[in-house]
């Protein structure tokens, strides 16, 4: 049951072969059995989930159900969920019970989906390995000694281990695509503004974007249909019609023009990962696509640009968490300054503190022009590179990550090395473009992801391109033997 696609589950539910209560209980039982091994969930919402499932069964019986009604889903613990703890995997919000739902949560609730629980993540989405969580690291289902990627590692591990059929994630610099790559999933970061950020606790407001983590492009398209759309509560939401992303999945990709940036196949890329990606590109050629070598000359600026812009915005966004209104509050503060210092010092982890300090410095008087303003200028150069490339090609392809999943603890003492794990994904966030990672093979038993980047609001094409590959290969159907 837990290996079936969303289409298959929907068919079983609507034909009465299984009830949503039975399906939900099946997943809850699997979570109880396997979560201690992976640490994928922070909070499991058993009672609430079964109530939602009963409501879904009633809708199905009354013939008022949608395609995803009754299907369970896991939410990254960065999305506010009414009456349920929303922690951002931080001690700072360990006791925070949200009084409202994020728009993404509200949308999938309206679709009749069932919330299984809240998944583990890097604290406030700051990390590339899911090791900065206050609740401990998430383990990769393919090898429990390795990271699942971050910051949406809990969502990725949950879907990979069949502890949820699908999950939400967020992507600020690769935090959906990177764990998708390391866990053998399909992970989509849509165009900035395609999905509402309302109720998604902000890390870097100009970069954050929600998206689906699923086993296949088909499943991702189904979930994106429910997640996407304009939201008047979010000033960065784009007022644009949402197509049915499933209707173009089967379109031919004959004549598709694929750009391969030389910067994505240079020093730092593991040779075996490179060979796996090149084999995937050859599959696309056999499907009728044409290949063109391109250059994105400012790619080298992406990591330093990101690590000025993102920390600056996180410094501003997290300033509200001061021990006064909500979140962790220190014991017996002597005065207001002591309250601020100890509440924040005790509530935030080391990586979050590092980024807050970096961002505060970059925004400080005398340094703003030298760092933050200059980073925004570099950001424009990166965006211009993509727009020039898309004059001649349809999509860009390359590796999602430079290596397969690394060992837990390997990079925790070397932040720069950790930051470089996102070297191929960061540019799309800086430019606001959609990006997708799909399973492309294995190296020594560990998954490799192929990244596909499209032009603005070209999610339908990305999903079509991904689906065409998945019709010709079966990498996305592989599951870790321990969790089948």
What's the confidence (pLDDT) of residue 416? 81
**Percent of the chain having pLDDT more than 90?**
95
Looking at the predicted structure, is the pLDDT value of residue 418 above 90?
A: no
And the tokens for 305?
A: 């640009």
Compute the average pLDDT of residues 455-468: 98
What's the confidence (pLDDT) of residue 1? 85
Q: Given 20, 98, 175, 343, which residue is catalytic?
A: 175
Looking at the predicted structure, is the pLDDT value of residue 405 above 90?
A: yes
Looking at the predicted structure, is the pLDDT value of residue 391 above 90?
A: yes
Q: Which domains does the chain have, with CATH numbers?
A: 6-255+394-483 (3.90.1300.10)
Specify whether 266 is catalytic.
no
And the tokens for 86?
A: 């929303």
Looking at the predicted structure, is the pLDDT value of residue 305 above 90?
A: yes
Looking at the predicted structure, is the pLDDT value of residue 325 above 90?
A: no
And the tokens for 268?
A: 């730092």
Nearest to 45 by CA among 118, 119, 94, 117: 117
Looking at the predicted structure, is the pLDDT value of residue 318 above 90?
A: yes
And the tokens for 434?
A: 């959609």
Specify whether 175 is catalytic.
yes
CB atoms near residue 63 (< 10 Å): 7
And the tokens for 475?
A: 């990498």
Looking at the predicted structure, is the pLDDT value of residue 354 above 90?
A: yes
What's the confidence (pLDDT) of residue 41? 98
User: pLDDT tens-digit profile of 41-63?
Assistant: 999 999 999 999 999 999 999 99
Contact 118, 75 (CB under 8 A): yes
Contact 188, 212 (CB under 8 A): yes
Specify whether 151 is catalytic.
yes
- Around 10, how many Cα atoms within 13 Å sit in the side-chain half-sphere? 15
DSSP letter string, 105-171 = HHHHHHTT-EEEEEE--SGGG--SSS---TT-PPPBTTBTTB---SSSHHHHHHHHTTS-S-EEEEE
Q: How many helices and strands in the chain, by DSSP H and E?
A: 15, 11
Q: Given 151, 152, 181, 216, which residue is catalytic?
A: 151
Compute the average pLDDT of residues 231-256: 97
Compute the average pLDDT of residues 211-226: 98
Q: Given 10, 19, 20, 76, which residue is catalytic?
A: 76
What's the confidence (pLDDT) of residue 253? 98
Using the structure block, give the residue that is written with the tokens 């007022």: 239
Q: Sheet containing 257-261: give its strands across.
A: 41-44, 114-119, 72-76, 167-171, 209-214, 186-189, 435-443, 446-453, 395-399, 257-261, 290-294
Contact 375, 360 (CB under 8 A): no
Q: How many residues does the chain have?
A: 484
At residue 267 the predicted structure's pLDDT band, cuts being 50, 70 and 90, is: confident
Nearest to 28 by CA among 191, 162, 174: 162
What's the confidence (pLDDT) of residue 417? 83
Using the structure block, give the residue that is written with the tokens 């410095």: 361
């Amino acid at each position: 049951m837990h290996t079936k696609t969303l289409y298959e589950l929907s068919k079983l539910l609507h034909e009465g072969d299984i009830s949503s209560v039975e399906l939900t209980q099946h997943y809850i039982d699997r979570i109880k059995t396997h979560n201690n091994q992976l640490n994928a969930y922070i909070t499991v919402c058993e009672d609430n989930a079964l109530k939602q499932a009963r409501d879904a069964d009633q809708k199905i019986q009354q013939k008022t159900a949608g395609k995803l009604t009754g299907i369970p889903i896991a939410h990254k613990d960065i999305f506010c969920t009414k009456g349920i703890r929303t922690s951002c995997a931080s001690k700072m919000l360990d006791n925070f019970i949200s009084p409202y739902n994020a728009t993404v949560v509200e949308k999938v609730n309206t679709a009749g989906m069932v919330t299984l629980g809240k998944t583990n993540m890097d604290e406030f989405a700051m990390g590339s390995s899911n090791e900065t969580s206050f609740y401990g690291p998430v383990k990769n289902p393919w090898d429990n000694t390795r990271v699942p990627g971050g910051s949406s590692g809990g969502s990725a591990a949950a879907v990979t281990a069949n502890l949820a059929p699908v999950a939400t994630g967020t992507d600020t610099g690769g935090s959906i695509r990177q764990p998708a790559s390391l866990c053998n999933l399909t992970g989509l970061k849509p165009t900035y503004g395609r999905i509402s950020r309302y109720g998604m606790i902000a890390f870097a407001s100009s970069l954050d974007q929600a998206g689906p983590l699923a086993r296949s492009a088909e499943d991702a398209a189904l979930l994106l249909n429910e997640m996407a759309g304009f939201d008047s509560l979010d000033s960065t939401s784009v007022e644009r019609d949402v197509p049915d992303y499933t209707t173009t999945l089967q379109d031919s990709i004959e004549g598709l023009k694929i750009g391969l940036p030389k910067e994505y196949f240079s020093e730092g890329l593991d040779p075996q990962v490179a060979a796996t990606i090149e084999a995937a590109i050859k599959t696309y050629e056999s499907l009728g696509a044409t290949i063109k070598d391109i250059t994105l000359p400012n790619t080298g600026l992406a990591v330093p640009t990101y690590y000025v812009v993102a920390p600056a915005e996180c410094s501003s966004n997290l300033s509200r968490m001061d021990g006064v209104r909500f979140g962790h509050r220190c014991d017996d503060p002597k005065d207001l300054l002591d309250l601020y210092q100890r509440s924040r010092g005790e509530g935030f982890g080391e990586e979050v503190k590092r980024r807050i300090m970096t961002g505060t410095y970059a925004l400080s008087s005398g340094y703003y022009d030298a760092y933050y303003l200059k980073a925004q200028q570099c950001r424009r150069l990166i965006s211009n590179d993509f727009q020039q490339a898309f004059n001649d090609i349809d999509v860009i392809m390359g590796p999602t990550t430079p290596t397969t999943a690394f060992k837990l603890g390997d990079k925790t003492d070397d932040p720069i090395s950790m930051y470089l794990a996102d070297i191929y994904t960061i540019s799309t966030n800086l430019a606001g473009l959609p990006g997708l990672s799909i399973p492309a093979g294995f190296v020594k038993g560990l998954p490799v992801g192929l990244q596909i980047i499209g032009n603005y609001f070209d999610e339908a094409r990305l999903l079509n391109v991904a689906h065409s590959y998945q019709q010709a290969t079966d990498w996305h159907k592989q599951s870790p033997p321990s969790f089948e």
